Amino acid sequence: MALILTLKEGEKFYVDDDPIRIKKVYSGDHAVVETSDGRLVDVMDDRMVEVLDDVLVSLGLSYQSGWARVVIEAPKEKLILREKNYGRRE
């Protein structure tokens, strides 16, 4: 089952300790994310792309300009958090 996060440009989510930043949202079906190693990845609504080992992302349709609905598929062992919650974990 996928996790869906709605994030705006510049926001991050974390997969374990690896940040993924929403670099640019071009439309509801196209965005660019930046991985922890600085790699830029085009993310679309019609296919999943691997951003980290065993971590796939795509976009869900968003009607808000500058926002992306990020669809994330990862093994259950991976902790996925919004940036604001990353610092709160114990």
- Sequence spans of domains, the chain: 3-86
Tens-digit pLDDT string for the chain (90 aa): 799 999 999 999 999 999 999 999 998 789 999 999 999 999 999 999 999 999 999 998 877 888 999 999 999 999 999 999 998 765
- pLDDT of the residue at 82: 94
How far is the CA of 17 from the CAs of 29, 56, 79, in angstroms?
A: 27, 16, 8
State if pTM tops 0.85. Answer: yes
Alpha carbons within 13 angstroms on the beta-carbon side of residue 73 total 12
